[in-house]
Every structure is written in C-alpha cells, then in structure tokens.
Amino acid sequence: MAEELTPETPEETEEQAIKQRKNGLYPGVSDELAENMKSGWADTELHDLAPIAQADKTAARRAALSARFPGERLVIPAGNLKTRSNDTEYAFRASTEYAYLTGDQTQDGVLVLEPAAGGHEATIYLLPRSDRENGEFWLDGQGELWVGRRHSLTEAEQLLGIPAKDVRELADALKEATGPVRAVRGHDAGIEAALTDKVTAERDEELRVHLSEARLVKDAFEIAELEKACASTARGFEDVVKVLDKAEATSERYIEGTFFLRARVEGNDIGYGSICAAGPHATTLHWVRNDGDVRPGDLLLLDAGVETTELYTADITRTLPINGRYTEIQRKIYDAVYEAQEAGIAAVKPGAAYRDFHDAAQRVLTEKLVEWGLVEGPVERVLELGLQRRWTLHGTGHMLGMDVHDCAAARTEKYVDTTLEPGMCLTVEPGLYFQADDLTVPEEYRGIGVRIEDDILVTEDGNRNLSDALPRRAEEVEAWMAALKG
C-alpha cells in the first residue's frame, strides 16, 4: 500500500504536491515512515454506547416522514463544508432537516429512507473512522489525525439508533437505485449530482415543505432545548450589560464578542448574526456590521440568540439605555412598544388565528402614532392604508425552532393562515423605528429605534414566555441594569 504514496508520473508529482500544500502537509513520504505510521495505535473502539437523549423522538419524526411518502426513497443530506477563503472553511452546521431526523450533526452525513415492507428502512451514511493502513488517517486533510476522532459506524448505530454505512458508497448506490426518489436540495452537490436524472424540483419541494410543516409543533425535547436557548441567551444579555463601559471605549463589536463568548461556551453558536445596534443603528433592521460607537445617552438595540448544542435557537431583543436610564422621549417610545408587545403576547393562545398577535400589536402602535400626531387618524384609516408601516417596518413575529425563522417552507395555510396549537413557538417582536433622516417626524424622534422581542410557547391554556428571565418593563430594565453594573 505504501506505493500509493509514491508518485508515479511527473504530473502526479505536481498534483500531489499541490494537494499536500493545500492540506498543509509535508511533501515527500518515505516508505519507512509510511510503514511506521500504520502501526502502534491502540484500539479505541467504544462499546455499549447509550442512545442519544432524543433517539425516540427522532425515530418518531422519521416515522411521520415515512408515512407521508410511502414507497419512495428519501434522501436527506447534512451538507458539506463551505469554503471561506482558499483552504479555510466556515464552521460546519448540519442542515436542519438532517439534524431534526437523526439527532446527528456530522458533515457529509446523509440519511436515506428506503421503501420496505410496512414503511421505510432508515440508513445513515457517514464517513467511517480513518484507515491506518492506506495512510488516509494522517495524509488526508479529513483524516482523523487532522480533524479529530470520528465515531465508528458501529458507535454511530448505537448512539443514533439507525443502521450506518460508509458514505463513500452512497453516490454509486443512488445512481443504481430504481423507483421514485426525493431529496432535500441545497446541502450536498455530490448527492444531487448522483440523483440528477431521478428527481424533480417540484417533488423535492414537497419533501422540503413537509419537513418544514412537521416542525411547526414542537415535541418535549424541542421545548426543553428552546428553554435552554433562552436561558443561555438571557445570561449573554447580562454579560453584555456588565461590559457596556468597555463597549463605550471600543465599539459595538465588544458587545458582539461578549455575547458570542456565551454562545460558544454554553451552546453550539449564535443562531443568527447578532444585531448590536447602538444609537441610530437601531433603526437599521439587520444591523450586523456592529462597528459603530456606543455612546452614553443613546439606546442599544440588542437582538441575539444562543443556539444550543442540539441546534435550537432563541431570538430575543431588548432595547437598553446605554447609561442605565431612558430619556423622556426614549421612554415614551419604549413604553408604546412595550404596550404593543403586551397586546401581542396576550393574543397568543390555542385556537387564535396566527395573524391575531400581529394585528393586536400593530393596532397599539398605530394608536400611539396617531396620538403623537405623526400620522393623521382615524386609526382604522391608517391601518387600512398601512401608513404606520413607515415606522413599524416589519411583521410582528415568526415561528422559532432549529431555524430562527423556522418552518419557512411551510405553506401559507399551515403557517400565516393557520390557528395556533399547543407546542408552537413564536416570537412577538413589535418595534418602532424613526430613521435619522426622517423629516416627517419631530427632530427628537429621529435616530431612535426600539424593538422588544420574546419567545412565546403556545400552551394548552394560553402561552408561556420562554424568555421572561429578561425584564421588559422600562423601570424593571433600569433596575436590572443597575444591579448588574453594581
């Protein structure tokens, strides 16, 4: 086998040298070293592993998927590494569909449900442990010596409760497969290439839609994960309040970095780019450059969420006075948004229309805008024409789960036109935004943006605010900040 490491032709020499350079490996391997590296390694196989905590839940999710598409082969890839620059990659994050159905997060993994008597047989295709004999262990960029130990296929089977096979055999197996196939697209170009003459965009979209709608109602494991995400996020917000003086001395980046530290220590990552918007940046809905000044007297709009190790994210916004006290005009706008959010949260209950909480919050905001003389009433006229939207800008919330904008592929009748059910989790996040250059409002309003966002679980008898560890009422925010700053 050592011969394989020895280049045979000049072209291969160059090719191999490039590959080795790309992987940061030393070119030129003697037969003696190649032989030496094959042996002297302990057997580290793990035995009798207990299944992962959500194994019974992922099995139930696969059973629901199986029942929806009888007799069809279903292919759900985890996805591959994405290049950031040259030979460096972004941190890997498994596709939501794959993680939801397997509980696994391994790059290049693929779940396949194959039609069988009584439903489907599931197989998870993974890269096995690195071979020591052929040198891939230490000469390949994805060898375990470079990227760390993987689970063996036997270990993966025990953990996930799904039979496992070598993913390098999958593309050929799919090419030879007969019968109807559907795949989740957009994650694994190699798998898609193997299926190119077997799938259609329309049928694949039906699979994607099903997996989005399946996640609308959360099971007990998912609710516990969302609780964890909210608890970690609340601690991240506390971390930020404690270092606002350091942010004042530097920039919004200090806030971003502080929150990220909490996300990485307690979870997998942030669930989306943190919006750390001080002063007039708060009026930019997706301000993620986070390179601005943090000034006492201004507001900080912080919209951020920790994603747990099992990939469930929180999505919380607080708008805080940087020096600890709201000014009169800031407080007036803040209280209006708070009142709108209260009305929105009150409208979240089983049997209510999904649109109700949005309508309730928009009505309160519109009443305030009319009352302040910023738009001419009556309120009904403003709502009908949507004139309030110059300052309310966005919808009042969305489903929350593994994706921050969860279940995004669900059909309208299953999402925005649906009625709420226990187990659904959504954000309620009204806001008011007065752009710094908005000449239609008095000068004192300009450059102020306020949003308050909480994560609300629909329960049997109403709702539960999963993010209520963080204060919302203005005077409670001020007292909380004063206590944290000591």
Smallest separation, CB 267 to Mn ion (Å): 17
Residue 319 found at the interface with Mn ion (CB under 5 A): no
Smallest separation, CB 273 to Mn ion (Å): 12
| 396 within 8 A of 372, measured Cβ to Cβ | no
Q: Which of 34, 420 has the CB closer to Mn ion?
A: 420
Smallest separation, CB 272 to Mn ion (Å): 8
From residue 363, how far is each of 27, 396, 418, 476 by CA, in Å?
69, 11, 21, 25
Smallest separation, CB 216 to Mn ion (Å): 17
Residue 406 found at the interface with Mn ion (CB under 5 A): no
Q: Is the peptide bond before 180 cis (omega within 30 degrees of 0)?
A: no
Residues 218-277 within binding reach of Mn ion (CB under 5 A):
none
Q: Which of 286, 411 has the CB closer to Mn ion?
A: 286
Q: Which of 307, 367 has the CB closer to Mn ion?
A: 307
Smallest separation, CB 451 to Mn ion (Å): 9
The closest of 131, 133, 115 to 123, measured between CA atoms, is: 115
Smallest separation, CB 395 to Mn ion (Å): 9
Query: How far apart (Å, rounded) are the C-alpha atoms in residues 282 and 262?
Result: 22
Smallest separation, CB 380 to Mn ion (Å): 28
Query: How far apart (Å, rounded) are the C-alpha atoms in residues 72 and 195?
Result: 14
Q: Which of 315, 406 has the CB closer to Mn ion?
A: 315
Q: Which of 314, 448 has the CB closer to Mn ion?
A: 314
Residue 435 found at the interface with Mn ion (CB under 5 A): no
Q: Which of 66, 313 has the CB closer to Mn ion?
A: 313
Residue 455 found at the interface with Mn ion (CB under 5 A): no
Per-residue b/e over 417-448, b at no fewer than 16 CB within 10 Å? Answer: ebebebbbbbbbbbbbbbbeebeebeeebbbb
Q: Which of 313, 366 has the CB closer to Mn ion?
A: 313
Residue 146 has a CB neighbour count (10 Å cut-off) of 15
Q: Residue 442: helix, strand or coil by DSSP?
A: coil
Region of 49-57, 133-141, 177-185, 424-432 interacting with Mn ion (CB under 5 A): 424-432
DSSP string of 77-139?
E-----EEETTEEPPP---HHHHHHHS---TT-EEEEEEETTEEEEEEEE--SPPSSSSHHHH
Q: What are phi and psi of 182, to 5 degrees?
A: -130, 145
Q: Which of 285, 387 has the CB closer to Mn ion?
A: 285
Structure tokens at 83: 């290049």
Smallest separation, CB 321 to Mn ion (Å): 22
Q: Which of 105, 283 has the CB closer to Mn ion?
A: 283
Query: How far apart (Å, rounded) are the C-alpha atoms in residues 124 and 40?
Result: 31
Smallest separation, CB 46 to Mn ion (Å): 40
Tell me how many residues contact Mn ion (CB under 5 A). 2
Q: Which of 252, 315 has the CB closer to Mn ion?
A: 315
Which residues face 113 on adjacent strands?
74, 122
Among 427, 435, 463, 467, binds Mn ion (CB under 5 A): 427
Q: 387: which residues sit within 8 A by CB, 6+ positions away?
A: 375, 381
Handedness of CA 440, 441, 447, 449 (dihedral sign): negative
Residue 396 found at the interface with Mn ion (CB under 5 A): no
Region of 188-196, 218-226, 240-248, 315-323 interacting with Mn ion (CB under 5 A): 315-323
Residue 315 found at the interface with Mn ion (CB under 5 A): yes
Region of 61-69, 231-239, 346-354, 422-430 interacting with Mn ion (CB under 5 A): 422-430
From residue 248, how far is each of 245, 251, 280, 293, 296 by CA, in Å?
5, 6, 15, 7, 8
Which residue sits closest to Mn ion, CB atoms considered? 315
Helix (H) and strand (E) counts for the chain?
18, 17
Smallest separation, CB 398 to Mn ion (Å): 6
Q: Are strands 448-451 and 431-434 parallel, antiparallel or unpaired?
A: antiparallel
First to last CA, the chain: 66
| 368 within 8 A of 336, measured Cβ to Cβ | yes
Q: Which of 69, 415 has the CB closer to Mn ion?
A: 415
Smallest separation, CB 427 to Mn ion (Å): 4
Q: Which of 22, 286 has the CB closer to Mn ion?
A: 286
Residue 158 found at the interface with Mn ion (CB under 5 A): no
Smallest separation, CB 271 to Mn ion (Å): 10
Helix (H) or strand (E) holding 387: none
Region of 73-81, 110-118, 187-195, 419-427 interacting with Mn ion (CB under 5 A): 419-427
Residues 11-30 within binding reach of Mn ion (CB under 5 A):
none
| Residues lying near Mn ion in the complex (CB under 5 A) | 315, 427
